[in-house]
């Protein structure tokens, strides 16, 4: 393994010449990537208009104006006057072409059962379900939730909802009742599509029954559509007039259901993301916005091609689920869908499916790689990965050890690891790599074209190489959330008020002397467990509901396998004794409310929590003490003695 000039991977002349981004720049008459960034940032309307044309993003009615910022950058409108539909661009446009007869979706269940659907066959499933949704009264603008494991039907549901003009609301398949209720209530979902259950490490786990349990708290839900996944392994109660088996609802329905013509700015996806305070925030992606971002991020920068097969072992409830649906389909490629865990029933399952199903474009997160590293090198070395040519990495910041392990053992020191970092609210990436740039461990080539990203100090001044600052956007981006669901004020307060006229993303970032960017972690208190962002307030509210805890601060601390794990610092109610049984009850409440992956690593009991004079709990201070870092300026604390108490508890 060499690291000439600190770079571990260099693109060959052939890779550079054949790269999608090279061909795109050639089409534009641009010879240098730096020039592309400069032009795209100076005129994002020009850039995304060129992407739409070059990547064959189609409209029923052409737009009159690519970008309108007359109401200010936070309220930018894209493709004004145009009409389109996400399903039209991903599925319908392949009709009558050779792509229509290609395999689109290849799937494997945890049991080992597998199969394949061509674009034609998949389109038929989408159309039948779309007709079924209309049969249940779903209309344009209605919200339909997807609470599903990774099954072929999960992706058919995604495109069927968009096809009828409804709004897709993905829900993490591992959610407990509390986060389900919060999101369904806020989104106002009219229909939920689910499965009877799923396999989790050999055990049948009910999903439909969980929706039944929250029925009284989710009155907007009129109908539930259920996929038979476990069948006789899990008897399922069905309520006549409310619950419908997918196969029975769709039986004999047409396979040519028309696709609704939607405004380019109409919502297509409502995906919730958690912050440090308050309820989860509903990010809204449009029919034109998300497909355009996947075209530029995954197609141009990531180099996804029609011959590629995409695979990222993630849940539909997170941003990657939508990415898995749109990236291969908009480019005419194929998708591998795998139910279950990457290391069950065999510990090398991830590597086996990548090899067996000829994955060429693999998505990973550092957490996933760290988890697979524990099984050693031999399990991955038994596979040649002859088709694998690109890895796209996202979800969190790398550290050097897992990056190098993956580069050596999976990429055989020949494959690029294209880093991307953005988020749900962005609808794409902010910082990104490409296949034409050399790579250092954890590095990004720089900002994504057209988003006008920068690294700034607290006043919004650009910072030079070597200094750490906030990641911001200085201009409009086509994928950016259209405000927050039902909450314009929170949208401005959360993203546009920290530094006037800049979108502040909440990541610490730096760049080196060679121009490479590095994401260093969140600048707020958001917890990320196994790549999933969760706000402390969601977990803290569950603790309060037990009646055992007066106050709490929930933080994430570094973990070698999961990236971070949860620690709860709690103030018990006066009448409650601190016993092992208390910790068991608290832990069970979190698992029952949020899911097993949120089980706390540790529960610490204190008499009070560090707080400011405005009584705001200082989670950054709590986290610093738990991790052995500096708690920073404590001058604003009203009760500095709590710091010493917590230090004593963790000594």
Name the nearest CA neighbour of 527 among 519, 538, 515, 542.
538
What does the pLDDT average to over 135-152? 97
3-class DSSP state for residue 281? strand
Q: pLDDT tens digit string along 183-224?
A: 999 999 999 999 999 998 899 999 999 999 999 999 999 999
Question: What would the 3-class secondary structure string for 217-244 be?
Answer: HCCCCCEEEEECCCHHHCCCCCCCCCEE
Angle between helices 44-54 and 20-28 (to 10 degrees): 110
Residue ending a domain, choose from 219, 242, 263? 263
614 confidence band (pLDDT: 50, 70, 90) = very low
Backbone dihedral angles phi then psi of residue 611, each to the nearest 5 degrees: -145, 155
Question: In this structure, are residues 509 and 397 in contact, taking their beta carbons and an 8 Å threshold?
Answer: no
Name the nearest CA neighbour of 211 among 237, 248, 230.
237
**H or E stretch covering 536:** helix 536-545
Q: pLDDT tens digit string along 425-473?
A: 999 999 999 999 999 998 999 999 999 999 999 899 999 998 888 999 9
Backbone dihedral angles phi then psi of residue 349, each to the nearest 5 degrees: -55, -45
Residue 123 has pLDDT above 90, yes or no: yes
Residue 464 belongs to a domain: no
Residue 419 belongs to a domain: no
How many other C-beta atoms are found inside a 10 Å radius of the C-beta of residue 46?
15
The predicted pLDDT at position 636 comes to 52
What radius of gyration do the chain's Cα atoms show? 24
Peptide bond into 66 cis (omega under 30): no
Give strand pairing partners of 429.
Answer: 422
Q: pLDDT tens digit string along 227-273?
A: 999 988 788 999 999 999 999 999 999 999 999 999 999 999 999 98
Residue 277 has pLDDT above 60, yes or no: no
Residue 509 belongs to a domain: no
Q: Which residue has the tokens 């009760």?
A: 639
Of the given ranges (27-41, 276-290, 335-349, 416-430), which has the lowest mean pLDDT?
Answer: 276-290
The predicted pLDDT at position 1 comes to 45
Q: Which residue has the higher pLDDT, 560 or 98?
A: 98
Tokens standing for residue 238: 């069905």
Residues 552, 503: Cα–Cα separation, whole Å:
30
Residue 216 belongs to a domain: yes
What does the pLDDT average to over 374-378? 87
Residue ending a domain, choose from 263, 298, 314? 263
Residue 226 belongs to a domain: yes
Residue 187 belongs to a domain: yes
Residue 542 belongs to a domain: yes
Backbone dihedral angles phi then psi of residue 19, each to the nearest 5 degrees: -65, 145
Backbone dihedral angles phi then psi of residue 572, each to the nearest 5 degrees: -70, 155
Percentage helix, strand, coil, to 5, in the chain? Answer: 35, 25, 40
Question: In this structure, are residues 355 and 385 in contact, taking their beta carbons and an 8 Å threshold?
Answer: yes
Residues 434, 303: Cα–Cα separation, whole Å:
8
Range(s) of the domain holding residue 247 = 118-263
What does the pLDDT average to over 306-317? 94
Residue ending a domain, choose from 241, 263, 285? 263
- Kindly tell me the number of DSSP H helices and DSSP E strands found in the chain: 21, 31
Predicted model pTM: 0.85
Residue 286 belongs to a domain: no
Provide the CATH number for the domain around residue 545. Answer: 3.30.300.30
Q: pLDDT tens digit string along 498-547?
A: 999 999 998 888 999 999 999 876 666 667 776 666 767 778 878 988 88
Residue 71 has pLDDT above 90, yes or no: yes
Domain count, the chain: 2
Question: In this structure, are residues 623 and 555 in contact, taking their beta carbons and an 8 Å threshold?
Answer: yes
Provide the CATH number for the domain around residue 213. Answer: 3.40.50.980
């Amino acid at each position: 393994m060499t690291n000439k000039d600190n770079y571990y991977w260099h693109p060959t002349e052939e890779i550079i010449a054949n790269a999608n981004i090279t061909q795109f720049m050639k089409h534009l008459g641009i010879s240098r990537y730096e020039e592309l960034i400069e032009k795209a940032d100076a005129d994002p309307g020009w850039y995304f208009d060129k992407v739409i044309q070059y990547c064959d993003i189609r409209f029923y009615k052409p737009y009159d104006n690519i970008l309108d910022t007359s109401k200010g950058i936070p309220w930018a409108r894209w493709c004004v006057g145009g009409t389109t539909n996400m399903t039209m661009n991903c599925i319908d446009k392949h009709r009558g072409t050779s792509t229509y007869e290609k395999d689109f979706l290849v799937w494997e269940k945890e049991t080992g059962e597998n199969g394949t659907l061509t674009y034609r066959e998949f389109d038929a499933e989408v159309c039948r379900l779309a007709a079924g949704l209309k049969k249940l009264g779903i209309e344009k603008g209605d919200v339909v939730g997807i609470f599903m494991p990774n099954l072929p039907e999960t992706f058919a549901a995604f495109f069927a909802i968009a096809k009828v003009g409804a709004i897709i609301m993905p829900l993490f398949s591992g959610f407990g009742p509390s986060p389900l209720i919060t999101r369904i209530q806020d989104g106002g979902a009219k229909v939920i599509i689910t499965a009877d259950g799923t396999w989790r490490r050999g055990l049948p786990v009910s999903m439909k029954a969980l929706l039944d349990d929250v029925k009284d708290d989710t009155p907007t839900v009129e109908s539930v559509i259920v996929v038979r996944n476990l069948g006789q392994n899990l008897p399922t109660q069905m309520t006549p007039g409310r619950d419908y088996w997918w196969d029975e609802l769709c039986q004999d329905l047409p396979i040519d259901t028309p696709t609704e013509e939607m405004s380019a700015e109409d919502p297509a996806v409502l995906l919730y993301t958690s912050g440090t305070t308050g309820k989860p925030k509903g990010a809204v992606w449009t029919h034109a916005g998300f497909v355009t971002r996947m075209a530029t991020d995954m197609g141009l920068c990531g180099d996804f091609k029609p011959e590629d097969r995409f695979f990222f072992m993630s849940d539909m409830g997170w941003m990657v689920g939508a990415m898995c649906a749109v990236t291969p389909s908009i480019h005419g490629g194929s998708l591998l869908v795998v139910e279950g865990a990457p290391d069950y029933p065999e510990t090398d399952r991830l590597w086996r499916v990548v090899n067996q199903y000829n994955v060429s474009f693999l998505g990973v997160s550092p957490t996933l790689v760290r988890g697979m590293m524990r099984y050693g090198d031999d399990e991955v070395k038994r596979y040649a990965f002859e088709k694998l040519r690109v890895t796209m990495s996202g979800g969190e910041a790398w550290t050097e050890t897992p990056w190098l392990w993956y580069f050596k053992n999976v990429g055989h020191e020949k494959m690029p690891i294209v880093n991307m970092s953005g988020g749900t609210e962005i609808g794409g990436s902010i910082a990104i790599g490409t296949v034409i740039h050399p790579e250092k461990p954890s590095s990004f080539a720089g900002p994504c074209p057209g988003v006008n990203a920068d690294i700034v100090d607290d006043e919004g001044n650009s910072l030079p190489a070597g200094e750490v600052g906030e990641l911001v956007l200085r201009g409009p981006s086509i994928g950016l959330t259209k405000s927050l669901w039902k909450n314009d004020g929170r949208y401005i307060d959360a993203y546009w008020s920290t530094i006037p006229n800049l979108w502040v993303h909440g990541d610490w970032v730096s760049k080196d002397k060679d121009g490479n960017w590095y994401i260093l972690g969140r600048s707020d208190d958001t917890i990320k467990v196994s790549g999933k962002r969760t706000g402390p307030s969601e977990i803290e509210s569950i603790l309060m509901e037990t009646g055992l805890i007066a106050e709490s601060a929930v933080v994430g601390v570094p973990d070698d396998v999961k990236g971070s794990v949860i620690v709860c610092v709690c103030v018990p109610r006066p009448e409650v004794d601190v016993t092992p049984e208390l910790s068991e009850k608290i832990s069970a409440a979190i698992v029952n409310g949020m899911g097993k992956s949120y089980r706390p690593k540790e529960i610490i009991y204190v008499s009070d929590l560090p707080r400011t004079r405005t009584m705001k709990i200082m989670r950054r201070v709590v986290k610093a003490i738990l991790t052995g870092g500096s708690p920073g300026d404590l001058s604003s604390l009203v009760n500095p003695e709590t710091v010493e108490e917590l230090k004593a508890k963790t000594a």
